[in-house]
Structures are given as C-alpha cells and as structure tokens.
C-alpha cells in the first residue's frame, strides 16, 4: 500500500496514494506571488503537518483547494500549502518543488522554505483524515527517505495540528504510525539486492557505506578495485 510516488516536476502523477483517491488542483499563479510563491525549494528536510481549524462540514480537501485559488486571485493573504487531506481524498495544490507559506516562521524559516506542507481537514471523520495523512507522510518518506516528520508547532510554537495535539500522546502516536507504515512496506527485489551488496562491501572494507548515491572519482574507483583484488 505504501509505495514510492511518481513525481514529475513536483507534481504527483498517481491516481491514488495508498488506495486513497488523489486529486490534482494546482493553484494557477495570478498577480502577487502570495499563494503560488514560485520560489524553488532548494533543500527539503521534512514534512510539516497541520490542522485546518475549519470545522465547516464542506471544508474538505476539494473546497480548500478552491479557497487557495481564491486567495491567489485576491492577492491579499500570504498563505499556501502543498496538500489537503480529508476522510476520503487527498488534493495537491502546489508543486512540492516550490516553497509554501504555512509554518509561520518567516520568509527564511526552515518550516516554510524546507518542508512539504500538509493540512489535515477537520470537516468529517477526523480519525480517518488523520490516518490518510499518515499514509501520505509515509508515501512521501518512501519516496524521499531523508524526510523527517514535523508539526507546525515545531516552527512557530502555534498549537497545530490542534486535533492531534489534543489527543494524549497524539503526536508521538501519529509519527510512530507513519514509520510503522514505512517499515511494513515490503522491499523490492532491487532494494533487497542493494542492501545485501552494501553489507558485503562493508564487511569486506571495500566501501565505508557513505555517499552511496554519489558517482565515484577515479581515485575512489581504483582504491575500491585494489581492496577487492586484495581480498
Ligand atoms: Zn498549522
């Protein structure tokens, strides 16, 4: 169920995310860059989770996407978010390669400039919406394993995501649930083969296991060949 996402230009191309219907409603840039910042996210360290604080029964992911487009057209409020999640679907509103204004930590804040933002809707079955958000977090981590899970409160101190923070141990359980989902996902044959080969290289001192995705220099390649030859 938890799979790597198919992301092109910061936009998810899958029809579902872990069986949850996935919609694209990317806000069209208009006037001021108040929702669509058009600022590239140069480094991504994690995912920031929020609650919408909107309990109106219609305030699901689709309505919030419309709301963001309205804000973009009005050119007043600087507010944006990559994803809205409710009890039965997920909508992406901004490419994840672009900075969004959500964390309340300023134009240079790490929350705003280095994290993917998720708003969890409060309009319906909250438990289900929270579970769906965990699945979205898990799929993002499966795709980008270096990402950490954050809450809005980590950046600005705001009591958000309020519905998760209201539950005793709610935040800890939310994060643990995400990592459980990530770990339960069976590895692909390729991932298993890579893991086995890296362990072999470590045991035989051919590689120290760091910078595994980098290209080797000629020096590094020669040293690795020599170490293999000397085995
Ligand atoms: Zn928030």
- What the block records as the tokens of 168 is 């005793």
Determine the Cα angle at 136 with ends 27 and 130, to 5°.
Answer: 100
Distant-in-sequence, close-in-space partners of 64: CB < 8 Å, separation ≥ 6: 52, 54, 84, 91, 93, 119, 121
What's the rounded mean pLDDT across residues 157-175? 97
Mean pLDDT of 176-188: 90
pLDDT at 185 over 80: no
Reported as a single tens digit per residue, the pLDDT across 3-43 is: 899 999 999 999 999 999 999 999 999 999 999 999 999 99
| 164 CA to centre of ligand 1 in angstroms | 11
Would the pTM of this model clear 0.85, i.e. be above it?
A: no
Q: What are phi and psi of 68, to 5 degrees?
A: -65, -40
Evaluate the omega torsion of the peptide bond into residue 54 and state whether it is cis, within 30 degrees of 0.
Answer: no
Would strands 46-51 and 148-151 be described as parallel, antiparallel, or unpaired? Answer: parallel
Greater model confidence, 213 or 226: 226
Cα–ligand 1 centroid distance for 210 (angstroms): 36
CA of 144 to the centre of ligand 1 (A): 22
Give me the pLDDT at residue 186, please.
78
Taking the centre of ligand 1 as the mean of its atom positions, its distance from the CA of residue 163, in whole angstroms, is: 11
The answer to whether 149 touches 178, Cβ cutoff 8 Å, is yes
50 CA to middle of ligand 1, Å?
Answer: 4
Hey, what domains does the chain have and what are their CATH numbers? 7-184 (3.40.80.10), 189-229 (no CATH)
**Tens digits of residue pLDDT in 35-77:** 999 999 999 999 999 999 999 999 999 999 999 999 999 999 9
């Amino acid at each position: 169920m938890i799979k790597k996402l198919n992301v092109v230009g910061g936009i998810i191309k899958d029809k579902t995310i872990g069986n949850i219907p996935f919609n694209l409603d990317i806000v069209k840039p208009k006037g001021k860059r108040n929702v669509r910042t058009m600022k590239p996210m140069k480094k991504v360290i994690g995912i920031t989770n929020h609650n919408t604080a909107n309990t109106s029964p219609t305030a699901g992911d689709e309505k919030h996407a419309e709301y963001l487009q309205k804000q973009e057209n009005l050119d007043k409020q600087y507010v944006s978010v990559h994803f809205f999640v409710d009890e039965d679907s997920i909508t992406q509103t901004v490419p994840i390669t672009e900075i969004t204004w959500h964390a309340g930590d300023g134009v240079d804040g790490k929350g705003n400039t280095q994290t993917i933002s998720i708003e969890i809707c409060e309009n319906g079955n909250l438990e289900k919406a929270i579970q769906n958000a965990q699945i979205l977090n898990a799929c993002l981590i499966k795709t980008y394993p270096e990402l950490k899970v954050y809450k809005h409160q980590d950046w600005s101190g705001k009591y958000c995501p309020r519905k998760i923070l209201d539950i005793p141990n709610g935040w800890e359980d939310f994060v643990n649930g995400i990592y459980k989902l990530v770990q339960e996902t069976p590895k692909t044959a390729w991932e298993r083969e890579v893991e086995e080969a890296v362990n072999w290289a470590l045991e035989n001192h051919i590689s120290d296991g760091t910078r595994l995705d980098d290209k080797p220099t000629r020096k590094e390649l020669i040293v690795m060949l020599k170490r293999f030859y000397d085995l």
